[in-house]
Each structure stands twice: as structure tokens, then as C-alpha cells.
Amino acid sequence: MAQKIRTDEGVLRIVPPPGQAAPLPKAGEKNILITSALPYCNNVPHLGNIIGSTLSADVFSRYSRTRNWRTLYICGTDEYGTATETQALKEGITPRELCDKYWILHKETYQWFDIGFDHFGRTSTPLHSEISQEIYSNLGKNGLLERQEKEQTYCEGCPKFLADRYVEGICPHCGFEDARGDQCDGCSRTLDAIELIKPRCLVDNTHTVTTRTSVHMYLKLNDIQPRTEEWIKQSWSRGKWSPNAVINSDGEIIDARLKKGLLPTPLTRDLKWGVPVPVEGEDIHGMNGKVLYVWFDAPIGYPSITANYTPEWKQWWFNPRDVDLYQFMGKDNVYFHTVYWPSVQIGDGRDWTKLHHLSTTEYLNYEGGKFSKSKNRGVFGPGAKETGIPASVWRYYLLSSRPETADAMFSWSECIAANNNVLLNNFGNFVNRALKFVSSQYASILPENGDAPGPYSPNDPLDSEFITSVNALLKDYIDAMDSVKIRLGLQTVMLISMRGNNYLQSSGLNKALIASNPTRCAQVISRAVNLIYTLSALIYPFMPATSEAILAQLNAPARAVPEVLSNDILGGHTIGTPGHLFKKIEDNMAEVWRIKFGGTENAQVSAAATPDPLKAAPGQSKKASKKSAPAASILPDGPKSPEAIALEAKIAEQGQHVRELKARTPKTPELDADIKSAVELLKALKSELEVLKQS
């Protein structure tokens, strides 16, 4: 099919998609290094884990590529430590077998969600051990290690020292009988295993557990602290750190540990599954047979996984002048990425690439509670695929609900509404309506309309308001995404598609316009198609499969993000075959999925009994299904009025605002009043929409 695409510099995307090359940074250009927190390799991720790190990082990675910035996105599984040994013990397999199993499960889950790493590796590699041992040795050479003796739990039956998670017993604070050696699930207090009353060995509870003295190496964080604080202030001022970091918006360090003063922290453990502590010559410190503490070696996984990807890894990790490091994680990982790991880098003495921009999230909870693997509550790993909801829709809903400033709540009803009201009736409707018009009225060939290639004039005699408003929204989008305000960026994309719907409506695009003013009709459809081309770039970070589907329907190569709306697909260009980007999900599926993923306290729905979410309920015709559905779902899927589309967007935004208010703590009378007011506004908007639909 004939293509007529403007190919001036900056129009097309030239940076390859994730995983297709090993890019290297280049002096004088923008080079973006991205990591997301390494997931533990002892379980499968749930939706909260995914939005908290890997999916958010993937969005920014893809956005960087749409700006034609040199980009590298690295992640992998964190495999060493007690948690892995404990889970392997429970499953009756070796730690290596456990990691092999869960590495595949993690990789397959992320692949299904279209999360595109340049490399997804793991920490249990020879290169990881080599790099970790080198850093440990450098800390020693720089006088930052000290030997300490400490009482530890010891099992006489095993016989060996027991790491915290190998010990259970009675909590000394609340009396909970099954407290773990590191934390009590009864009162949530952190513990030292030697505090437990009547400690028992997790391997065999008949063994006698006592205490013995063990020696370990500690990192003198207290000696490094002044340099760490100086670096925090410098990095925070150059980059943009999330508000729940260790420094506030006034540049004041607020982390309690820093304010109290850092203490030496252990770097070694009495375990078998880990990086061996390097011992040279005579073992004067008694470190032979010990391993590096997982909290020490885990962040070293970022450079070591990069080293397993490219032998030129140091061009990324020892290049602070040319490389900006963006790191994504949940709020529970902030200390280790802003204080602990940078302190290790400073203490190592080499010129490391350190954190530039920190992006963290609060927690995503599940339907009024928490995700729980033990109770089978919530959507884990392959569960999202089992619903039949496409990965793009999952990505949209999770990102539109991203808990950036407060905890958020996953809701099946809101997930379905996001698909039906926003994706289907706003975004998808605009793309399909415009491209079907080209297909049916112009034999799939974009008509000549007199517009010159390149940016549209904001002083256009007919469309100045449309062009100016789109350009303003494009600036908003770029500003939001440059600042890693991901949810705001996605909201802006939907506002632009809404603007496209309004443009078609106000321009009166139909067969009559072709007959009465063929030049104007050609102009309107051409400008709409070029807005769709722009949207294909804007939506790519959030929904890459949707972007690719749009490009296939446009028969166009991938576009870079433009600063202004431009005439890029020119007259005479042949488009592909138009098709629906999204399908409706029946409202009654919300209850089906609540039961299916509700956990052990709910009756499970078998896969055979689960209806197709994109079809009528079992035993019903589509007609019968619509009769029994709520009023909002019996309306036709055809074009909606601009007023209805605008109201639905307001309702979605207000619903998110209500969720955020309800998630805030502590509860106060002022907060209760705000929630009540926000709920009343949400109800009023919904009532207004119902009146509009009935009319």
C-alpha cells in the first residue's frame, strides 16, 4: 500500500524498541538508564507489584524512546538470601531450582503485560558475584568495614546458625505464637530472632534452638553519612524525587534514620545461598564460609545484570556526566535506593552513575483489602490473562489508578468502566470513526486538502481553536512525562482524544459535508487522521499493543512525540484496514471476577463456568444480556455526544479523587468532610450523565 509520510528530522521514531539492541550512551546526547526494583524470586508478582515498579518503569522507558533518547531499561530477579532459602525449604527443592522456576514465571508475566526490558536478568550469576565481591573489597580497602560479634540463634539439631526467617516463636511484645524471626504478623513489630520466646527451628521444630556468638562484617555507614547527605541534596536538586522520599520539597532531609544518625550495618550472613564473602590469604576476620547479606548484594544486581547484557556496561554505570539514572519502586524501597545503595557507591570510591530521578508509588490494595497469596486473594501473575481482558486494558486501568501520592484501591467495577467508558467510547470511538470514514468515503486513500506538510498554523482561519488547544495539551503531556507524572500524562492523552471526538462532531463530518464542501471535508478528515498519528505516539508508552494496532490501521511507521500538531500523513496516502481497538466488557463480569479472585473465604468459580467477558452471559443471547444489564450498559456503542464524553471523563477523574481521599490516613473530621463532599459531587455527575443519556 502506498505511503506518503513526512520524514523530516524528528518526525519518526529511530530509537529501537526495548530488547532489540544494546544501546550505548553518547556524549552530548540524552542518555536514560532505567531500573525497576528487583522482584524477589520466591513468589509470583501481583498487580500492586507490577504497577509499583516494572510497569511504571516500562512506561517511562517507552516514552524516552518516543523522544528518541538513548535508553536502557534493566531489571531481573533478586535471588539470594533467607527468603529464597525458606521458600525452597517449604517447596522441597533447592534454592537454585526455586529461582529457575520463579524467574520463568516472572518473565512470562511481564511479557504478557507488554513490559519491555532491554534485559531481564537475575542476580545468581558469576558476574554478579564478581562485581559484588569487588565492591566489598573496595569498601575494606577504604577503611569502611569493621568486624563485630553478635548473638545469633543457633540450632543444635541442624547444626548451624539460623537466619531470622528460619526461626519462629512467641512474640515478646504481643504473645503471638507464630512470630517470625524478623517480624511479628500479630503486632507488625520488627524483631531480632534472639528476642523470641520458645524459639523453634523451621526445619524441624523438635530441634533445640539456643544462641551462640557469630562474627560478621559491618559497613560503617556512620562514616559515610556526611558525604551521603551532601549527595542527596545535590541529586534531589538536579533531578525530581517523589514526595515520599528522604528529603522534603524544601530540601530538608527528613528520614528518621539519617536524622538520628546512621549506624554500622551488617554486610554478611551465615547462609549457604548467596555470594561468598571474598577472603584473601589468612582468614583473620573469620569470614570464610559466610555470604554477603542480600540487602547489600541486591542493588548491585542493577549493574551486574547490565554486565550480563553488554560487556560495555561500565559506559552506563561509571558515566555520571552523560547518563541520567531513573529508578522506579514502591515506597518501602526508598531508603535502600536513596541512602543505603548510594552510600555503598560512595564508599566504593569509583565514579558511579547514581540516582538522578526517583519515582515511587504508594500501595495498590485490592477491593477493600490487601493482596494475599496465602489466601489466594487478588490477581497474581497469570490471573490477569485468565480473565480474557487484554493486556492493554489492564495497563490502562492500572496506570490510570497509579497510586502516586496515596494508596489506591483496585476495583473490578471501575476496571470495566475504564474499558467501556474511556477506552471504547472515547479513544477507540475517535480512531474508528475517522478511519472508517476514510475507508468508506475515500476508498482508503487520504484526500488532498491543500495543507502544506509540517506543523499546522495556530492562526488557521477555520481550526485555530482546535490546533491551539491540541498544542497546549501536547505541551502538558510532555511536561508531565518529563517529570514522570505518569497518571497525568495518561489523562492528557485521553483529553486529546476527547478533543478529536469534539472536532469531528463540531465540524459536522459526514457524507453531506463531502457533497456540500468537499475541500473542507478533506481538510477535516486529514487533520483528524494526523491527530490519530500523534495519538499513536502518545499512547505507545502506556499501551504499546494499541499503538501498534493504530499504526497498522494507518499503514504508517512509528512516530516520535511531536511538540505541535503537524501534517505528517499526506494526501494520497493509503491507510490500512480500520478495526475496533477495544471490545465492551459486560458489567455482570465484575461479580464473577470478585468471586473468582476473592480468596479462600469466597466460593471459587471454575474456569468452565466463567463467561467470556466480551460476550453475553452464559445461557443468554446478547439481547437478553442487555435487558438484564444496568441502564448504562444498554446504550448503543456508537458515537457519543461531546457532552457525554466530557462527563464520563469527569466521572472517572472524580472517582479516582474519591479513592485517593478514602485511602488517606489518619482519618480526621476534615478528611471525612472532604470525602463526603467528593462523593456528593461524584453522585451529581453520574446523575447528570444519566439525564443526558435518557434525553
The verdict on 163 and 124 lying in the same domain is no
In sequence order, which ranges of 583-641 are alpha helices (DSSP H)? 589-596, 622-628
The verdict on 39 and 58 lying in the same domain is yes
Q: Does residue 36 sit in helix, strand or coil? A: strand
Please compute the mean of the pLDDT values over residues 282-290 and round it to a whole number: 87
Task: Tell the residue number behind the cell numbers 533467607, with chain if given.
Answer: 82
pLDDT tens digit sequence for 142-165? 999 999 998 989 999 988 888 887
Q: Report if residue 183 sits inside a domain.
A: yes
Return the pLDDT at 192: 84
The verdict on 117 and 175 lying in the same domain is no
Does 621 score more than 50 pLDDT? Answer: no
Return the pLDDT at 429: 96
Please compute the mean of the pLDDT values over residues 519-526 and round it to a whole number: 97
389: left (phi over 0), alpha (psi -120 to 50) or beta: beta
Q: Report if residue 511 sits inside a domain.
A: yes
Contact between 264 and 148 under an 8 Å Cβ cutoff? The reply is yes
For residue 66, give the C-alpha cell: 518516543
pLDDT tens digit sequence for 315-334? 999 999 999 999 999 988 89
The verdict on 297 and 323 lying in the same domain is yes
Rounded-to-integer distance, Cα 404 and Cα 186, Å:
29
Of 306 and 606, the one with more pLDDT = 306
The verdict on 155 and 124 lying in the same domain is no
pLDDT tens digit sequence for 224-271? 999 999 999 999 988 878 777 788 888 899 988 999 999 999 999 988
Rounded-to-integer distance, Cα 197 and Cα 161, Å:
17
* Cβ within 8 Å of residue 489, ≥6 positions away: 63, 477, 480, 481, 541, 542
Winning range, highest mean pLDDT, from 154-163, 273-282, 474-483: 474-483
Rounded-to-integer distance, Cα 609 and Cα 594, Å:
14
The verdict on 151 and 123 lying in the same domain is no
Final residue in a domain of this structure, among 574, 609, 630: 574
Q: Report if residue 140 sits inside a domain.
A: no
The verdict on 327 and 306 lying in the same domain is yes
Let me know the angle formed at the C-alpha of 356 by 542 and 72, rounded to the nearest 5 degrees.
50
Model confidence band, residue 634 (pLDDT cutoffs 50, 70, 90):
very low
Does 559 score more than 80 pLDDT? Answer: yes
Q: Which structural domain, as residue segments, surrounds residue 207?
A: 145-219
The verdict on 128 and 155 lying in the same domain is no
Please compute the mean of the pLDDT values over residues 612-625 and round it to a whole number: 44
Final residue in a domain of this structure, among 166, 197, 219: 219
Does 1 score more than 70 pLDDT? Answer: yes
Please compute the mean of the pLDDT values over residues 619-629 and round it to a whole number: 39
Predicted model pTM: 0.84
Phi first, then psi: give them for residue 678, nearest 5 degrees: -65, -40
Q: Looking at residue 565, which CATH number applies to its domain?
A: 1.10.730.10
Q: Report if residue 547 sits inside a domain.
A: yes
Q: Report if residue 375 sits inside a domain.
A: no
Q: Looking at residue 167, which CATH number applies to its domain?
A: 2.170.220.10
Does 101 score more than 60 pLDDT? Answer: yes
Return the pLDDT at 628: 35
Best CA proximity match to 317, nearest among 347, 291, 287, 345: 345
Cα radius of gyration (the chain): 28
Cα-based torsion angle of the residue sequence 485, 490, 492, 494 in order, rounded to the nearest 10 degrees: -170
How many structural domains does the chain have?
Answer: 4
Return the pLDDT at 649: 61
The verdict on 70 and 193 lying in the same domain is no
The verdict on 446 and 530 lying in the same domain is yes
Q: Report if residue 498 sits inside a domain.
A: yes
In sequence order, which ranges of 311-406 are alpha helices (DSSP H)? 314-317, 334-335, 341-348, 383-386, 391-400
* Cβ within 8 Å of residue 289, ≥6 positions away: none
Q: Report if residue 325 sits inside a domain.
A: yes
Put the strands of the sheet holding 167-170 in their side by side order: 179-180, 167-170, 197-201
Model confidence band, residue 627 (pLDDT cutoffs 50, 70, 90):
very low
DSSP string, 671-694: HHHHHHHHHHHHHHHHHHHHHHHH
Of 151 and 673, the one with more pLDDT = 151
Q: Looking at residue 128, which CATH number applies to its domain?
A: 3.40.50.620
Q: Does residue 421 sit in helix, strand or coil? A: helix
Residue 51 CB neighbour total at 10 angstroms: 26
Helix axis angle, 464-482 relative to 518-538, nearest 10°? Answer: 0
Q: Report if residue 491 sits inside a domain.
A: yes
Q: What is the mean pLDDT of the chain?
A: 89
Residue 535 CB neighbour total at 10 angstroms: 22
The verdict on 165 and 69 lying in the same domain is no
Does 694 score more than 80 pLDDT? Answer: no
Does 466 score more than 90 pLDDT? Answer: yes
For residue 635, give the C-alpha cell: 446504550
Q: Residues for the chain: how many in total?
A: 695
Final residue in a domain of this structure, among 540, 558, 574: 574
The verdict on 107 and 175 lying in the same domain is no
